[in-house]
Structure 1
Amino acid sequence: MTAAGWARDDLVALWRRGGWSTALGRPRPGGPTPRRSAVLLLFGLLETSDHADPASADVDLLLTRRSDDLRHHPGQVAFPGGGLDPGEDAVDAAVREAHEETGLDPRGVEPIGPLADVPVTVSGNVVTPVLAWWRVPSALRPDGTETAEVFRVPVPQLVDPANRGTVLGEHAGQRFATPAFTVPDVPLVWGFTAYVLDAVLDALGWAVPWDADRVVPLPRPPGTTP
């Protein structure tokens, strides 16, 4: 696992390299103009690390749980983010949305840069992931409207093979499979968020081999009964 002393350098190198890919598709030719969105992949030093030396400390990642009342993807774990306002670029939008959804102080966020756009054909979105380093962490408070919970998830837990698997499902008559992360004390991470996280961990060189044949049950949507 990459030590925190090198983590920021790894993020910068990935941004400069621009080399990453996901299993998601490409925009449909001739389709409507997609909506533009951005999400913040905010890494920082894990405050609860057992290592006193920051150069040996662990790294964490900020994730949120979407409100159960939202029409799209209710209750799912996600990166903070949302649509671009007029005149905004992806970096500004990602940091602004993270501030609005989690209460973090944007002055402590060091944006590193955007990665390649990720088309999400199922929702007609094109999403730009933005890498960032949490230079000065601040208190978090979910807004209670779009965001129900916020989590600082240790990267060692995300790359632990025991916490990796695959979700199988069906949407609009099409079967799909997505990576999944079964981190303790965090709802299942799957779908778009897991696709991007899986690709970024691989591209950073932080990933550990895991069993893609381990099937993780897809959680029931909020408000449904068995």
Structure 2
Amino acid sequence: MTEMRAGGAQRDRVPRPPAFTEHFATPWKLGSSWSVDELVAPVPERSGPMLPTFPDAKLSAVLCLLADGPNGAEVLLTRRSMEMRNHQGEISFPGGRVDPGETAIEAAVREAHEEVGLDPALSTIVGELEHLSTIVSKSYIVPVVARLDAGERPHLEPQTMEADRVMWTPISELTKPLTYRLERWGNLPLDRPLHFFELDDETIWGATGRMLFDLITLPR
């Protein structure tokens, strides 16, 4: 196994099967960084119609919020509380279930306000990343991309028990050497690839890892 960055406590909580393979090639230049303008330029306004892959999928939406920082674009992430029933300690985007009568955008913005205190008036919606389905939570997720409007960055912190950390992570941290790897777990349906970003203090994987990978690898 290639020695990656430390990855934090979550690194040892990943429920890997007995058999899996690792792949370390990156489709980006190591250490790559982009401004928010460059990062969002190829994001489509709509990534396609909603087509859940199983009949009982629960419609969900997350907010992928970007802001310019001293080293290029940064993305807003949260760490799920260990008190949660599912996905304890995992890094995620603010988000949750889409309520009846809501659009995915409305749900993503509402959830970000409820979870971290983001004023809806401070961000502008850009578009959507590719929709995806999760097996464990049986969710159909719409990743809504937004950018923080110019001005002083607001103070954000956990507002509920759902999250215990709010973090602005530079995209350049995700593209550093010894940070990214792809794993293939042989017991998953369709042998899906799982994308891992191991930072110095946290491990990002699962649906969040997939969405970040999709964002970074959009053709630009």
CA 1:156–1:192: 2 relative to 1, 3 Å? same
Gaps of 5+ in 1: 20-25, 50-56, 206-226
Match of 1:11 in 2: 40
1:74 to 2:97 alignment? no
> Counterpart of 1:8 in structure 2: which amino acid?
D
Q: Residues 68 and 74 of structure 2 are in contact (CA less than 8 Å); yes or no, is this contact kept in structure 1?
A: yes
Give the structure with the larger helix fraction.
1
Match of 1:127 in 2: 141
Q: Residues 27 and 120 of structure 1 are in contact (CA less than 8 Å); yes or no, is this contact kept in structure 2?
A: no
Q: Give every structure 1 segment of 4 or more consecutive aligned residues whose post-TM-superposition deviation is greater than 4 Å.
A: 16-19, 167-177
CA 1:181–1:170: 2 relative to 1, 3 Å? same
Match of 1:203 in 2: 218
Match of 1:22 in 2: none
Match of 1:213 in 2: none
1:92 to 2:106 alignment? yes
Q: TM-score, length-normalised on structure 2?
A: 0.73
Match of 2:194 in 1: 178
> Counterpart of 1:202 in structure 2: which amino acid?
T
Gaps of 5+ in 2: 1-31
DSSP-derived class of the 2:105 partner:
helix
How big is the alpha-carbon RMSD for the aligned residues of Structure 1 and Structure 2?
2.7
| Number of aligned residue pairs | 185
> Counterpart of 1:164 in structure 2: which amino acid?
Y
CA 1:141–1:127: 2 relative to 1, 3 Å? same
Question: 1:13 offset after TM fit, Å?
Answer: 3.0
Distance 1:201 1:172 in 2: 24
Distance 1:92 1:142 in 2: 20
Q: Residues 34 and 72 of structure 2 are in contact (CA less than 8 Å); yes or no, is this contact kept in structure 1?
A: yes
Distance 1:69 1:176 in 2: 28
